[in-house]
Amino acid sequence: MLDVRIDLHTHSSVSDGTDDPAALVRAAADAGLDVVALTDHDTTAGWRAAAEALPPGLTLVPGAELSCESVDDEGRRVSVHLLAYLFDPTAPELVAEQERLRIERRGRLRAIAVRMAEDGLPVDPDDLLAGLPTDTAAGRPHLARALVRAGLVHSVQEAFDRYLATGREYYMAKADTPVEAAIDLITAAGGATVLAHPFAGTRGPTITEETVAALAGRGLSGLEVDHPDHDPAARARLAGLADELNLVHTGSSDYHGANKSATPGQETTDPAQFTALVERASANAGGTGPATRPVGGAWGAWEEAGTGS
């Protein structure tokens, strides 16, 4: 297949994107994509709506981006994002961990907002949380948008740069999943795992090459090589590391709607690499498959279980 355009990392309004899942798949089709993965933070709540709205010709890869942590050489906590694809979203241990993370996210976002309000900044913690359904993964971008609406800053990016980014005054960490445990959960649920933007240094300390090698030995499937936050040097190091460790290379936009400047398909994944990723998921029994219209087959199993929404 020539010219197949594949973007394996996007966010809808079910986490910190601004397009609802139906609008997101339409935006993907409008951008000329053939395959799009929906990878909301710590939730699969958008899968059904995205699948139901799939335009003809677009394939949906159901996924999520799991909030994880590791430690670097100096013993510092490192935030690690793990993309997970094609897993069974009803796997009980995974469901429990995602629920824990969503509760953790709400508590942490409220704590940040309370500290800001105490310092006289224009944010109402109750209003902020009331606007976020409980199956939504509450994140700093939601607070950043509230600060834009209140006129304190001009953009979500300015809110991060001045207040919310790692190391800024109102940054607070949360209790994420150890990345090894997250890989085990997804492998047991029949999915494949890819480290998201592993060397995006502007977000804080990044994962070490030694840890990446250890994760490869634990069942990690791939590395996100092409990402808007990777400079050419980071891409070259990651491509080399992926080859050395026999991992799949992906490229993706990390589209967040109006919350970030990336557009769907801004970075793409080579079709042969996508095929390899699907094969790695298939090697782990019990997952789901990509969805095309009409939605059916193995894809329907989790929907029938009534927990796909």
Binding to ligand AMP (CB under 6 A): which residues in 76-105? none
- Burial call 185-219: b when 16+ CB within 10 Å, e when fewer: bbbbbbbbbbbbbbbbeeeebbbbbebbeebbeeb
Binding-site member from 254, 262, 280, 303 for Zn ion (CB under 5 A): 254
Q: How far is the CB of 139 from Fe ion (least distance, A)?
A: 6
Q: What is the DSSP letter of 149?
A: H
8 Å CB contact between 101 and 137: yes
Question: CA 38 to CA 26: how far, in whole Å?
Answer: 12
Side-chain half-sphere exposure of 107, counting CA atoms within 13 A:
10
Q: How far is the CB of 11 from ligand AMP (least distance, A)?
A: 7
Specify which residues 65 forms β-bridges with.
41, 83
Binding to Zn ion (CB under 5 A): which residues in 9-68? 65
> Which residue, 48 or 81, has its beta carbon nearer to ligand AMP?
81
Specify which residues 178 forms β-bridges with.
69
User: Is 141 near ligand AMP (CB under 6 A)?
Assistant: yes
Q: How far is the CB of 65 from ligand AMP (least distance, A)?
A: 7
User: Is 196 near Fe ion (CB under 5 A)?
Assistant: yes
The terminus-to-terminus CA distance of the chain in angstroms comes to 33
Q: What is the DSSP letter of 54?
A: P
Among 108-116, 159-167, 189-197, 295-303, which window interacts with Fe ion (CB under 5 A)?
189-197
In one-letter notation, the amino acid at residue 62 is P
**Size of residue set near Fe ion by CB under 5 A:** 3
Binding-site member from 139, 264, 287, 308 for ligand AMP (CB under 6 A): 139
User: Is 16 near Fe ion (CB under 5 A)?
Assistant: yes
Q: How far is CA 191 from CA 24, 46, 82, 184, 284, in A?
A: 23, 17, 12, 10, 6
Binding to ligand AMP (CB under 6 A): which residues in 6-25? 16
**Size of residue set near Zn ion by CB under 5 A:** 2
Q: How far is the CB of 215 from Fe ion (least distance, A)?
A: 16
> Which residue, 19 or 65, has its beta carbon nearer to Zn ion?
65
8 Å CB contact between 50 and 21: yes
Q: With CB cut-offs between 5 and 8 Å by kind, which of ligand AMP, Fe ion, Zn ion, none does residue 102 bind?
A: none
User: Is 63 near ligand AMP (CB under 6 A)?
Assistant: no
Q: How far is the CB of 174 from ligand AMP (least distance, A)?
A: 7
Question: CA 8 to CA 25: how far, in whole Å?
Answer: 12
Binding mask 218-237 for ligand AMP (x = CB under 6 A): --------------------
Residues in Cβ contact with 220 at an 8 Å cutoff, skipping those fewer than 6 apart: 183, 193, 194, 195, 212, 247
User: Is 226 near Fe ion (CB under 5 A)?
Assistant: no
Q: Which residues bind ligand AMP (CB under 6 A)?
A: 16, 41, 139-141, 157, 160, 165, 202-203, 256
By CB under 5 A, name the binding residues for Fe ion.
16, 81, 196
